[in-house]
Chains A and B, each alone.
Chain A
Amino acid sequence: MSSVKRKRPLFNRYMANRALPYIVLSIIGVLFLLPLLWLVLASFDANATLLLKLPEQATLENYTATITSADNQRSFVNGLILALGQALLVVVTAGLASYPLSRYQLRYKKMFMYIILFATGLPITAVMVPVYQFFLYFKIQNSLFFTILFLAASALPYSIWMMKNFMDSVPVELEEAAWVDGASIWTTLRLVITPLMLPGIFTVGIYAFSGSWGNFLVPFILLQSPEKLPAAVTIYQYFGQNGIVQYGKLAAFSILYTMPAVVLYIIGQRFMSQGFSFGGANKG
């Protein structure tokens, strides 16, 4: 086994085996990076085309023009109102719901979780016509507030599902200790559970935020006034018929539009891994 003669070729093969994954991954990485690289370079290019190239004339003009436009500012604010409002609502609602679902023995729990799980599968945003009719009937269309409620409802089933699983992994003993010390349920929730639930809160919040931040169809159909439209809809001004497409500006808008999602992802990154653990799913 330790013969010197055999060791040499083995060592080379071992090297090759070690190098192969790095080579394959690097190729995949480059393939994933190239389209994105174009976006970044084009956003700094005064004469951006559709071709990946270094800007001959590097400029910040695309960014300043995008940022200083009052219409763009408004659409970003609208987008933030929609996405943050919805994320907040989802986190609070799903958080509240997950507590009894995780901690109590409830007679209707099983039915409830089935409904939730079932609802996770429905492509609710594809059912825009009935939603629109519903909004029209109650005269709640063209309202940021009710659009937030709808977006929240459509993200809720999956969020509750995730949140309950996070709640299950928070040990119950800590709460019991708090109760022994005479803390109320609200105090316990606020001071004991919430800090331990941060991974869940971030995961669900980011899931909800990115869902509505990127959603075009829902605000496009439910909101009518131009001053209420979010960035996801107004980005089409660059796609549409407005003259020769200004790729540099569109790229700058795209990068700015991607930023909030990136920032949230970076903040929540260290918590996220738990959100992708489905290994125990069928142990249930």
Chain B
Amino acid sequence: MTIRKTVLAGSLAAVTLFAAACSNNTGSSNAGTSGENGNGSSAGATKTITVAYGKWNETDNWGKWLTSVKEEFENANPGVKVELNAIEGSQYATKIPLLMMDEKTAPEVLAEDSFMINADSEAGYLEPLAVDTWDDWSNFNEGIKAAVTGTDGKIYGVPFSTDVRGLYYNKVLFEQAGLPVPWEPKTWDDILTASRTIKAQLPDVIPFWMNSSKAGQEATTMQTLQMLLYGTDDTMFEDGKWVTESPGLLSSLEFINTIYSEGMGPKLSQVMTAQAGQILETDLMPNNKVAIALNGNWLTGNWAPTGGKPWPEALDVYGFAKMPTQNGQGQGFTSMSGGWTLSVGAKSAEKELGFKFIQLATSKEHNKEFAMLDGALTPRTDVAADTEYTGQPGTLYGVAAEFITYTHVRPTNSDYPAVSTAVQEMVEKVASASLKPEAAMKDYAKSVERKVGAEKVMAK
């Protein structure tokens, strides 16, 4: 009878000891960090800020830009060390909330896709930024500022890029197939007709490429579904509710279904992998294997001399056409704009230094450096007016200005990220022919209802 007690006592003692060991361990590591930070004020000692960003490909343009900012920042702030935390691109969306949610790992500065701003600020992961005391803030595009404003009206990120989407079309292939160049589709049917012609004339070419898988993540939502949906009479989010069933959504899915069921899309083995985008940009397009690709203006960054696949003739071969609305309704064309921001982790230690770093990274000089490196559109009005930037060969800055007049932004709602993954599942199901468009839409409606609650969804 005493034996059990003995064992219990023994185990308890061990647990206590162990717990003590744990707390010692964390205690000492905390002491280590705070010691470092505490000493920062005295001369010669160091403070460290961490900058987390996505490494999207071998070229790592973001890394190049942030490294140059880091060097300048460290020189200007003696005693401050900047650590760059490059996160594998395909794992970025999962890793970044795991990092932000705890004091121990929260980075001072992080690259944040603007659609996450609402969700992450409501989760308490992001620090509101004191932009009122920052003169340079007035140089940022007003429209883009809306996308970085939280539901509480505060600013949670400084944008460093924006973008537009449209249709890349291969002029060489179009001419071979007897299609008009320049190509100016007016309706979705024009796109399907062109694709069918390509399919008939040039059987070895992929007529129409679009991101269509869960692996494509946000690209699938934005470059594919929203580019279609926002060209119909419906949208994703109206009057505070998610529109989960609508004729426009069904038409969009039917468009995707038509492309794949008629064999006009890429092979599933090409488009369902995480490296689908990379294969498109550095292999299929430069080798004239894709006739039309629904994608973003930033592809040119890959083809720049500093890119992963330098290709000076890229824009002689590929034209960039506006995406028409379904039947030419509304303004006749549509586009989507998103963008990335630099934000400060609310649970990080050196928030002020973090914001200082962001100010430098998004300054005129460094933003121009980044935009020219990456082929991104600048959110700064002064860079946008810079002739060196606008005159850079092999970019779409000129065309993009027109696209922006037709553009839409994603719903600014904290449930957006969760809804977006449901969109990706829906698109993949249709593209892989697992479900018919109607059934996929029904699944989507159920999935969204579960995530956001029945009171926040509607059918049209």
Q: Do chains A and B touch in the complex (CB under 8 A)?
A: yes
| Also in contact, A221 and B98, with CB within 8 A (given A142-B105, A240-B89, A240-B275) | yes
Asked if A35 is at the interface of the complex by the 8 Å CB criterion, the answer is: no
Most B-side CB within 10 Å, residue of A107, A132, A141, A224: A224
Task: Give the residue name and chain of the A residue nearest to B21 (CB).
Answer: A145
Contact call A141/B102, Cβ cutoff below 8 A: yes
Contact call A241/B102, Cβ cutoff below 8 A: no
Contact call A241/B89, Cβ cutoff below 8 A: yes
Contact call B105/A225, Cβ cutoff below 8 A: yes
State which of B88, B95, B282, B308 has its C-beta within 8 Å of the C-beta of A240: B88
Contact call A241/B274, Cβ cutoff below 8 A: yes
Contact call B308/A226, Cβ cutoff below 8 A: no
Q: How far, in Å, is A236 (CB) from chain B's closest CB?
A: 6
A132: chain B residues within 8 A (beta carbon): 98
| Also in contact, A236 and B95, with CB within 8 A (given A107-B4, A138-B22, A243-B282) | no
A220: chain B residues within 8 A (beta carbon): 91
A221: chain B residues within 8 A (beta carbon): 98
Asked if B283 is at the interface of the complex by the 8 Å CB criterion, the answer is: yes
State which of A107, A141, A244 has its C-beta within 8 Å of the C-beta of B282: A244
Q: How far is the CA of A244 from the CA of B99 in the complex (A)?
A: 29
Contact residues on A (Cβ < 8 Å of other chain), bracket: 20 to 34
A185: chain B residues within 8 A (beta carbon): none
Task: Give the residue name and chain of the B residue nearest to A243 (CB).
Answer: B58
Contact call B57/A242, Cβ cutoff below 8 A: yes
Q: How far, in Å, is A29 (CB) from chain B's closest CB?
A: 29
Q: How far is the CA of A142 from the CA of B7 in the complex (A)?
A: 32
Asked if B311 is at the interface of the complex by the 8 Å CB criterion, the answer is: no
Q: Which of B212-258 contact A (CB under 8 A)?
A: none
Contact call B86/A241, Cβ cutoff below 8 A: no
Contact call B279/A240, Cβ cutoff below 8 A: no
Q: How far is the CA of A30 from the CA of B353 in the complex (A)?
A: 61
Per-position contact with A for B85-125: 1 when CB-CB < 8 Å, else 0?
Answer: 11111110001001101111100000000000000000000
Give the dominant DSSP class at A's interface: loop
Contact call B25/A145, Cβ cutoff below 8 A: yes
Asked if B277 is at the interface of the complex by the 8 Å CB criterion, the answer is: yes
A179: chain B residues within 8 A (beta carbon): none
| Also in contact, A236 and B88, with CB within 8 A (given A138-B22, A242-B58, A244-B282) | yes
Asked if B26 is at the interface of the complex by the 8 Å CB criterion, the answer is: yes
Contact residues on B (Cβ < 8 Å of other chain), bracket: 20 to 34
Per-position contact with B for A133-150: 1 when CB-CB < 8 Å, else 0?
Answer: 000101111110110000
A108: chain B residues within 8 A (beta carbon): 3-4, 7
Q: How far is the CA of A132 from the CA of B85 in the complex (A)?
A: 21
Task: Give the residue name and chain of the B residue nearest to A139 (CB).
Answer: B26
Task: Give the residue name and chain of the A residue nearest to B88 (CB).
Answer: A240
Q: How far, in Å, is A283 (CB) from chain B's closest CB?
A: 28
Q: How far, in Å, is A149 (CB) from chain B's closest CB?
A: 9
Contact call B104/A141, Cβ cutoff below 8 A: yes
| Also in contact, A240 and B105, with CB within 8 A (given A140-B22, A224-B99, A245-B275) | no
A245: chain B residues within 8 A (beta carbon): 275
Asked if B363 is at the interface of the complex by the 8 Å CB criterion, the answer is: no
A107: chain B residues within 8 A (beta carbon): 3-4
Per-position contact with B for A207-242: 1 when CB-CB < 8 Å, else 0?
Answer: 000000000000011001110000000001101111
Q: How far is the CA of A221 from the CA of B101 in the complex (A)?
A: 13
Q: How far, in Å, is B90 (CB) from chain A's closest CB?
A: 4
Q: How far is the CA of A241 from the CA of B25 in the complex (A)?
A: 37
Asked if B421 is at the interface of the complex by the 8 Å CB criterion, the answer is: no
Residue positions of A touching B, CB distance < 8 A: 106-108, 132, 136, 138-143, 145-146, 220-221, 224-226, 236-237, 239-245
Contacts A241-B57, A243-B59 aside, 10 further interface pairs with beta carbons under 8 A come to A132-B98, A139-B103, A225-B85, A239-B274, A239-B275, A241-B88, A242-B275, A243-B58, A244-B275, A244-B283
Residue positions of B touching A, CB distance < 8 A: 3-4, 7, 22, 25-26, 55-59, 85-91, 95, 98-99, 101-105, 274-275, 277-279, 282-283, 308
9 closest pairs, A vs B, by CB? A243-B58, A240-B90, A224-B105, A241-B89, A139-B26, A242-B58, A240-B88, A241-B275, A243-B57
